[in-house]
Amino acid sequence: MKDTGYSIKDLEVLSGIKAHTIRIWEKRYNLLEPDRTDTNIRYYNDQDLRRMLNVSLLVRNGYKISKVAKWDNESINKTVLDISQRKTSESDYIDRLILYMINFDNVSFYNLTSEIIDEKGLEEATTKIFFEFFVKVGIYWQVGSIFPAQEHYVTNLFRQKMITEIDKLGINNEKNQSILFFLPEKELHELSLLFYHYMAQKMGYHVIYLGQFVPWDDLVKIQKQVKVDFVFTAFINSISKEDLESYLESLKELFSNQKIFITGWQLQMHQPAVPRNVKVIKDYREFNKYMK
């Protein structure tokens, strides 16, 4: 829980239920009983947040708020569990992942991610559910509705899952071509990089994975010592357009004979000038089509 508790705006952002509607539900159905600050501002505790998240999931699945509001937490939790055992929509999966993240519920989070991967396969699970989940997490973090430890917690769980799925593939290198994956210095968000690593390895490429925060001097050494056919990197952390374009120009000169793939939020934001041997990857289907 945050030091100051959760505001009604936090509940709105996390549950998807408008603050105005939450107030009505409080007044009409006594759904929540928030505490108040000395200046009479509502604030909510962890139990309030969990109840709100569960109620919003039930309402989205067709349950009437007038009925749900009368239930105690045990009944609500049981019904949410029943729903989770049926065929679930992508939005429901995301809602449950958010709930388990907030509760730091290791077992439920691990089991649900395994269930989603088993049902959909890693590619569909990642692109349709996990990436959308992290878009939501990013928004929640920006508005202060979750704290960094919660984001780090789920990021590491997903990282473990990705590495496990990559390991299951084994190595065949049937394409007889290599792809270098790395993140620039100060760049730590590697989930998308790991996902494209998975795709490349699945297609039979030899993957050289350097991971996060790779110094420029290391890239220079790699270029001199290792045969590389393709290069793949991502730009997620904040970077100015000028610095981004400068880095891409340097990358083009260093790997002048290779095709360079780039992805990440900063490319959408800045729309940088891209050198001739650099290709922006907008989604996994584009990368899959190109590499096959």
Same domain (yes/no): 27, 95 = no
What single letter denotes the amino acid at residue 280? V
Same domain (yes/no): 121, 139 = yes
Same domain (yes/no): 72, 102 = no
Same domain (yes/no): 18, 75 = yes
What single letter denotes the amino acid at residue 224? K
pTM (predicted TM-score): 0.70
pLDDT tens sequence across 215-272: 999 999 999 999 999 999 999 888 889 999 999 999 999 999 999 999 988 898 889 9
CATH number at residue 69: 1.10.1660.10
Long-range pairs, 99-108, Cβ under 8 A, ≥24: 99/50, 99/53, 99/54, 99/57, 101/137, 101/146, 101/150, 101/153, 101/154, 102/14, 102/46, 102/49, 102/50, 102/53, 102/146, 102/150, 103/50, 104/150, 104/153, 106/157
Same domain (yes/no): 287, 201 = yes
Same domain (yes/no): 95, 199 = no
pLDDT tens sequence across 122-168: 989 998 899 888 877 766 664 566 677 888 888 898 999 999 999 99
Looking at 49, 65, 82, which one is the last position of a domain? 82
Looking at 169, 191, 221, which one is the last position of a domain? 169
Same domain (yes/no): 63, 98 = no
The arithmetic mean of pLDDT across residues 24-42, rounded, is: 89
pLDDT tens sequence across 96-112: 898 888 888 889 999 99
Q: How far apart are CA 185 and CA 243, in angstroms?
A: 12
Same domain (yes/no): 152, 230 = no
Looking at 150, 169, 188, which one is the last position of a domain? 169
Q: Output the CA–CA distances (angstroms, integers) from residue 236 to 16, 115, 214, 227, 230, in the order listed.
A: 26, 28, 14, 27, 20
Total structural domains within the chain: 3
Same domain (yes/no): 176, 287 = yes
Q: How many CA within 13 A on the CB side of residue 266?
A: 22
pLDDT tens sequence across 82-99: 776 665 678 888 888 988
Domain that holds residue 69: 1-82
The arithmetic mean of pLDDT across residues 39-48, rounded, is: 85
Same domain (yes/no): 115, 25 = no
